[in-house]
Amino acid sequence: MKMSSKIAGALLTSALLLSVLAPVHAQIVLKTGHISPKASAEGIVVDRFAALVKEKTNGEVLVEVFPSEQLGPATAMIESTILGNQDLYVGGNVEFERFSPGLKALGLNYAVESQEQFRKILKSPLWKEMFVDPLDKAGLAVVASDWERGPFRVLISTKPVKNFDDLKGLKLRIAPIDTWRKSWTALGTQVVVLPWNDVYLGLQQGMIDAVTAPANLLTAMKFTEVAKYVARTDEYWGVLTLVGNKKKWASLKAEHRRAITEAADQAGKEYMRTADAEIERDFASMKAKGVQYTVLDLKPGAAKMRPVIQDLEKEGFIPAGIYERIRAVK
């Protein structure tokens, strides 16, 4: 009996040692940032993506999300992702134009004739050439680049904008994006660079008269509390993209990369499937609160931008022949 107690004690000690020395699989945490509020359509889709990653990897990979520029403005987060201080970034395709002269052409106002044409560009070799490959060279892996953003764009202002003549002298907030500066200056506005989360205060205090935005961010950003005029502008078509640090992405197991890609695809499809209904709901609420909504005749704006785009091509701002290549995608 005494011998049995000793044996039992030895077995227990061995079991404890084995449990301590057994290899522990560390949970992978991917630090992820974006500029939009958590409760916005964009914030919701990123959180949904994070939940799907956890589900599809059985909790082995966690996406830790920092919304509302908590990790800095878009340019800082992109740089941080390249350096590896941040693992993933979710943002618009125009934010990456500094890595690709060809991408600048897509961000110029009215360079792309319609949403249908833009969708075809996304599926063409031109998109890989202008977006995926340049980002890869910069140190960014493109995980997803087909979440249609908006799904259209609007201009929110403190004074009526019913046609392109009304843009003259308008103090318009822009991000530090060259195509926006060149496009909106050509259309007569006085551009003002202002951080995204300072726009509400800027409109309220008169620092700016207007801002452009994806339509599905109006409610979350609360811009129409202080600016009662909204005009549909459709100046460019964009997507919400998911990119990661290239080295970090390559270091993940193939099964984890596959699960993350599947999660991004599923979240993106859910986001786009509900977009129209959410826009209809938001715009009905907005109009009920006295906001005036106008759909601009885009022909004068497109006509004004055509020679501007051609001149920018001659100046070397965008690659030679790129404008016609974009127009040729049908």
Q: Pairing relation of β-strands 140-148 and 239-245?
A: antiparallel
Q: How many domains does the chain have?
A: 2
Amino acid at 185: T
Q: How far apart are CA 285 and CA 219, in angstroms?
A: 9
258 domain residue, yes or no: yes
How many residues are present in the chain? 330
CATH code for the domain of 116: 3.40.190.170
Q: Do both 302 and 246 map to the same domain?
A: no
Do 128 and 190 fall within a single domain? no
One domain, residues 143 and 213: no
Say if residue 82 is in the same domain as residue 166. Answer: no
Q: Does residue 299 share a domain with residue 277?
A: no
pTM, two decimals, is: 0.89
Q: Are residues 106 and 244 in the same domain?
A: yes
Shared-domain flag, residues 42 and 165: no
Q: Is there a single domain that holds both residue 189 and residue 134? A: no
Q: Which residues pair with 147 in a beta bridge?
A: 240
Provide the residue range defining the domain that includes 252. Answer: 26-150+238-288
Number of CB atoms found within 10 A of residue 275's CB:
21
Task: Tell me, yes or no, whether 132 and 86 share the same domain.
Answer: yes
Same domain, 250 and 303: no
Q: What is the pLDDT along the chain (330 residues), one digit of tens a residue?
A: 444 555 545 444 544 444 444 444 579 999 999 999 999 999 999 999 999 999 999 999 999 999 999 999 999 999 999 999 999 999 999 999 999 999 999 999 999 999 999 999 999 999 999 999 999 999 999 999 999 999 999 999 999 999 999 999 999 999 999 999 999 999 999 999 999 999 999 999 999 999 999 999 999 999 999 999 999 999 999 999 999 999 999 999 999 999 999 999 999 999 999 999 999 999 999 999 999 999 999 999 999 999 999 999 999 999 999 999 999 998
Asked whether residue 11 is assigned to any structural domain, the reply reads no
- pLDDT the model gives residue 19: 44
